[in-house]
Amino acid sequence: MRPLRYSINITLDGCYDHTMMPSDEALHRHAIENLKQADALLFGRVTYQMMEAAFRSPAQTGTRPDWMAPWMEPFARTIDAAKKYVVSSTLEQVDWNAERLRGNLGSAVQQLKQQPGKGLFVGGVQLPQALAELGLIDEYEFVIHPRLVGHGPTLFAGLSKPLDLQFVSRLDVGSGAVAMRYEPRR
């Protein structure tokens, strides 16, 4: 069975707003390594549209927007090439090497997990919370940035019950960020 892995960047005070996170080459290399461990990516509508808007065109045209540093290009190419599944009740169609995941979320994701391969990777906030509620995430990675922002959205707000995790590993990613990996206690 393919494992479903989740990774997200957060500040020390738990904010996940990507506009609050510093970014550097080491963090992007780490993200590429995560993506390489997956046969496919699983996104909700918001994350899918955000990633597509940011990385599709630069990967396909080689023309970087002003905000994109040259060291971001390998990430753009990696995510562009990845197979994607999108969970959305509002998008009529998707492209960008993607297909909509239809039907019951738990059953659909369980079917993806049962296919042979290296694994699946999920990003975002709302979809991972729904998957956590269903007990479908096999590994959690929190890339913790040495920053306090004092406001903003926090992860898993409204989780119906506590989810106990077991520490797996720690990796210094760069610029003071630390990737902490956990598995659910079963």
DSSP assigned state of 132: H
CA distance 6 to 63: 30
Question: pLDDT tens-digit profile of 147-174?
Answer: 998 888 888 888 899 999 999 999 999 8
CA distance 130 to 126: 6
For strand 120-122 and strand 177-184, is the pairing parallel, antiparallel, or unpaired?
unpaired
Determine the pLDDT at residue 22. Answer: 81
Determine the pLDDT at residue 107. Answer: 96
| The pLDDT of residue 95 is above 80 | yes
Q: Considering the chain, what is the average pLDDT of its residues?
A: 91
| The pLDDT of residue 32 is above 90 | yes
Question: pLDDT tens-digit profile of 108-117?
Answer: 999 999 999 9
Determine the pLDDT at residue 62. Answer: 79
Name the band, by pLDDT with cuts 50, 70 and 90, for residue 98: very high
DSSP assigned state of 21: S
Q: What pTM, to 2 d.p., does this model score?
A: 0.92
**Mean pLDDT across 3-29:** 90
CA 14 to chain centre: 16
Q: 3-class secondary structure for 142-174? A: EEEECCCCCCCCECCCCCCCCCCEEEEEEEEEE
Cα 142 to Cα 13, 64, 75, 123, 173, distances in angstroms: 12, 28, 19, 11, 11
Determine the pLDDT at residue 19. Answer: 81
Token readout for 51 is 């990633």
Q: Is residue 182 within a helix (H) or strand (E), and if so which, with residue range?
A: strand 177-184
Determine the pLDDT at residue 97. Answer: 92
CA distance 32 to 155: 23
